[in-house]
Structure 1
């Protein structure tokens, strides 16, 4: 019986990846190969292609599907793209829901690769393409900026503990201060590199200028969000963006006995949530339209963080909307709107559930 589609699912980690081939027959039945392990390097990539060539049916559609697991998938995805293979990179949340729909309880590399290969057959996915070089470089810089800030915070905590301790040697105090000064210098240099990169791309520079009209949102926040979303290229809706960022709402209710608190999942990109924390605090005080929403949400809430997180989510949706529409922020804007803004309006009721 003829093969109508073929998919190789890849479960990838730092040093190796596991691959499995799924083939769909004309009658809809699926057949699977054995799952094999390969090293996550050029040698492993070439072995994967030789193995695939030996078992696939030539002339029939073949796709490679993998999860966006940190940065570990990037080398393989770029390698396959360069040799003109069809690559699908799916968000972990998306594949997780698919696994749940099949009631898969076993968690191994071989099982994951098998189910991912089936996912590539049974669902329609967008073809993956490398992000623009400017955005990829921007992501490297913004992540490094955050990592330097985290190191500075850790050193600041050490300084506090040593200042409050008895009889600490001068060497320790001086060494700690020296490290903090050096990290401050590197943070300043990193910030300069981020600004240079944004200035060098004319289109990106103009779009960022328009987004900076949102009161409370600064350059680093925008650079981080644009870098982590690759200019929102992979997102077709607000819901996808909210889920990717970990701002999707989780409710726990069942009958009359179980009524858990509504919260956000936090199963998403931590760099985006980290970048929006302080801008949301500023917006709650100085952005009149968002301040009104913040006050309304917190009226009957025991914690002000409920409204603060809602504003973070609102700011993210606002940035996405202005980016898609290529427009500036207008404080008292009212009137008919294109689809992205309509989605934002519809989504605002969900924000209040946070």
Structure 2
């Protein structure tokens, strides 16, 4: 990297400037590029105070575009801080930056190199601005992800109890403790669900969305909270196809020449939380909604495996949810799939 220090006075305001931020759980590495050359990396702690310090520094560089990866929850507060300070921010899928680094033929992988790669990406690729969700939608996502985490813990605890119960040698005190852990998790999940519903009730937009989501058979309050937490934070101008791709439910073909013809699978390159939130509601809808069941059966009749048919229903249901929110209309199962009439 060029032996230079970032100095806003030395930067020509007429020149477009780019920056990349490598986000870690505790540390942020910032690299700024001007005229195709990087300045020395700067390190910040991943704390609100240093978020503000970085935003203040970058705000002095007129027109700067900052690029970072979506790294779970660790990047989110920084993206909010930079956006609120007026800095242009783009957040990209980690797989995109990983493949971009391969194109650049980077031989090393360090935080400094990754930050520079992100700056080069911002420099060469089209700017796609990050859309900041409202505070209530951010809070709802926090509720939904915490409920999901506790639900996973509850499943693990129930599996442990089942294993302990399989032998008569397990002391009753141990079984009692395992059951108490499950009961405690149930209580915590109920408290968080009540908190999420109270938050939704305070905001008309969220309340209306809950009504729309629960108009689908198979989606009750718990599933609706999980889906709303992930889908409502997405930019309003995203198409239904972009939703599907973001969820990783888009098909991934793999054909080459005359000899390589792998099975088409879903990409799984997007948000796994959306796929997880859709999975059980789809199976429930297949059981209780005749139109969704007919579509599922139609896929089976075409030779699809049950899991393949489930993924197809998930994808089509995501299309339906996008249309429901866009047009503010409840779920219409007759538009989801028209059951063919049987000629007598």
Scaled by the length of structure 1, the TM-score of the pair is 0.82
* Number of the residue aligned with 1:36: 42
Native 8 Å contact 2:254 2:264 kept in 1: yes
Native 8 Å contact 1:136 1:230 kept in 2: no
- Whether 1:262 aligns to 2:264 is yes
Native 8 Å contact 1:38 1:44 kept in 2: yes
Aligned mate of 1:200, from 199, 202, 205: 202
Question: Post-superposition shift, 1:300?
Answer: 4.4
Native 8 Å contact 2:300 2:306 kept in 1: yes
- Whether 1:73 aligns to 2:75 is yes
What is the rounded CA distance, in whole Å, between the counterparts of 2:94 and 2:243 in structure 1? 13
Residue 51 and residue 330 in structure 1: after superposition, are their counterparts in 2 closer, same or farther (change >3 A)?
Answer: closer
Residue 285 and residue 268 in structure 1: after superposition, are their counterparts in 2 closer, same or farther (change >3 A)?
Answer: same
Native 8 Å contact 1:226 1:232 kept in 2: no
What is the rounded CA distance, in whole Å, between the counterparts of 1:115 and 1:161 in structure 2? 48
Residue 224 and residue 49 in structure 1: after superposition, are their counterparts in 2 closer, same or farther (change >3 A)?
Answer: closer
What is the rounded CA distance, in whole Å, between the counterparts of 1:140 and 1:51 in structure 2? 29
Question: Which has the higher mean CA deviation after the structures are superposed, 235-244 or 90-99?
Answer: 90-99
SS at 1:262 equivalent: strand
Structure 2's unaligned 5+ residue stretches are: 1-10, 338-344
Question: Post-superposition shift, 1:307?
Answer: 0.3
What is the rounded CA distance, in whole Å, between the counterparts of 1:198 and 1:219 in structure 2? 11
What is the rounded CA distance, in whole Å, between the counterparts of 2:285 and 2:93 in structure 1? 30
Question: Post-superposition shift, 1:105?
Answer: 6.2
Residue 249 and residue 97 in structure 1: after superposition, are their counterparts in 2 closer, same or farther (change >3 A)?
Answer: farther
Question: Which has the higher mean CA deviation after the structures are superposed, 285-294 or 168-177?
Answer: 285-294
* Number of the residue aligned with 2:248: 246
For residues 131-182 of structure 1, give each alpha carbon's deviation from its aligned partner in whole angstroms, at most 9, with x where no partner exists.
2121111111111111111111111111111111241112101111111111
Structure 1's unaligned 5+ residue stretches are: 25-29, 335-343, 345-354
Question: Post-superposition shift, 1:99?
Answer: 4.2
- Whether 1:21 aligns to 2:32 is yes
Question: Which has the higher mean CA deviation after the structures are superposed, 164-173 or 88-97?
Answer: 88-97
Native 8 Å contact 1:91 1:244 kept in 2: no
Residue 165 and residue 49 in structure 1: after superposition, are their counterparts in 2 closer, same or farther (change >3 A)?
Answer: same
Scaled by the length of structure 2, the TM-score of the pair is 0.85
Q: How many residues matched?
A: 326
Question: Which has the higher mean CA deviation after the structures are superposed, 182-191 or 42-51?
Answer: 42-51
Question: Which has the higher mean CA deviation after the structures are superposed, 197-206 or 101-110?
Answer: 101-110
Native 8 Å contact 1:156 1:180 kept in 2: yes
Residue 226 and residue 302 in structure 1: after superposition, are their counterparts in 2 closer, same or farther (change >3 A)?
Answer: closer
- Whether 1:5 aligns to 2:16 is yes
Aligned mate of 1:292, from 290, 294, 310: 294
What is the rounded CA distance, in whole Å, between the counterparts of 2:231 and 2:334 in structure 1? 28
For residues 302-354 of structure 1, give each alpha carbon's deviation from its aligned partner in whole angstroms, at most 9, with x where no partner exists.
631110111112111211121112112223249xxxxxxxxx9xxxxxxxxxx
Residue 16 and residue 231 in structure 1: after superposition, are their counterparts in 2 closer, same or farther (change >3 A)?
Answer: closer
RMSD over equivalenced CA pairs, Å: 2.7
What is the rounded CA distance, in whole Å, between the counterparts of 1:208 and 1:38 in structure 2? 40
Question: Post-superposition shift, 1:186?
Answer: 1.4
Question: Post-superposition shift, 1:263?
Answer: 0.9
* Number of the residue aligned with 1:326: 328
What is the rounded CA distance, in whole Å, between the counterparts of 1:166 and 1:236 in structure 2? 56
Residue 45 and residue 204 in structure 1: after superposition, are their counterparts in 2 closer, same or farther (change >3 A)?
Answer: closer
Aligned residue runs from structure 1 range 1-354, under 5 A: 4-24=15-35, 30-42=36-48, 44-45=50-51, 48=54, 60-96=62-98, 98-99=100-101, 102=104, 106-233=108-235, 236-301=238-303, 303-333=305-335
